[in-house]
Amino acid sequence: VVNSTATIKTRLDGDAYLLAMLAEYSPAGGRSSPAIFNDAAPDDFIFGPDNPAPCIVIAAPSSDEGGGTLTETTRLIQQEVRVYAYRGMSTAVLDTAARRIRDLFHLQPASLSVSGGRAVISTASGPVEAPTTDTSVSGRRVTLRLELQEN
């Protein structure tokens, strides 16, 4: 079974340029690391003037379709990667981070590390605005389309 979220996280974690743009997050009793989260930022991660740098949220797949042939199994997955930052800062860093995410995935299947398989297709669209319910936060989203083949 291939895990698209782990594949995306591994690719993001491997890019020093992107990581340098992000806020740091230290969970209670844990080590500080770049602010990359699955599904949502934790409740104790607070945006504001003291923490204006962006964070990344890897959303759950919005589409996951099986495919393949008699000899191979594939998954066609659509998944969003969202970037959020404190609205009081310039959106330049937010936009730069979102464009970097797009560039890391668009037409780059060979660059993806897939546990239990390989990436056959990787495309990215966006960034576009990611709506938020918090008026102090701005967001962007990049939509990924991944075709992952299981070993």
Tens digits of residue pLDDT in 4-63: 999 999 999 999 999 999 999 988 777 889 999 999 999 888 888 888 899 999 999 999
The region of weakest confidence among 28-32, 93-97, 109-113 is 28-32
What pTM was estimated for this model as a whole? 0.92
Distances in Å between the alpha carbon of 90 and those of 11, 28, 80, 115, 133? 26, 29, 23, 37, 19
For residues 59 and 66, give the distance between their C-alpha atoms in angstroms, rounded to a whole number.
19
pLDDT at 79 over 80: yes
Separation between Cα atoms, residue 115 and residue 6, nearest integer Å: 8
